[in-house]
Structure 1
Amino acid sequence: MNYYSTEQSMSAFGVYAGYKDGYYTFVLENNDIIDFDEINKMILVQFDLKSNEFKGKKFEIIYKEIIDDLDDEDFVVFKLQEIKLIK
């Protein structure tokens, strides 16, 4: 079986639901929920996402969906690249 990896940049609008168990969670406009397990460290300089300060706030989010095929199962990682607070 051939191993493959693919990466796709995406953007969406979503409401920040909070930080829990190492994941930064956003609820998108279409009600999809994305748990980001990787985050650009510059975002944490701008926004203290581990506090409740930004919970319930709307953001434009830019992220990467990284898919790795490991042993006949796809492993998906969402990496938060950039966020912009919508006022």
Structure 2
Amino acid sequence: MNEDVRLTAWVRGRVQGVGFRWFTRANALEIGGLTGFALNLDDGRVQVVAEGTSENCHRLLEWLRSGDTPGRVDGVTEIWGTPRGGYDGFAIR
């Protein structure tokens, strides 16, 4: 069963000022069926929130960890939860 989930991921490394949020949004749209956002945090990390099927959220998480991202990802911490809804597409914040 491929239920809907909420992925919240914090990406650390050189991920600000390199187009990371733009490419995250593009990848989420390419995967399809995902809503949420990518946000620069004051401590230099990027927070990614994605809601959609478990399979699609896992695909996005795999991409975040893949090394195909812009900049340099040193690590990704994630938590999983129940979708809250309220997102109109996938935004850059």
TM-score (norm 2): 0.30
Identify which of structures 1 and 2 has the higher relative contact order when contacts are C-alpha pairs closer than 8 Å and 6+ apart: 2
**Greater share of residues in helix:** 2
Higher Cα radius of gyration = 1
**Greater share of residues in strand:** 1
TM-score (norm 1): 0.31
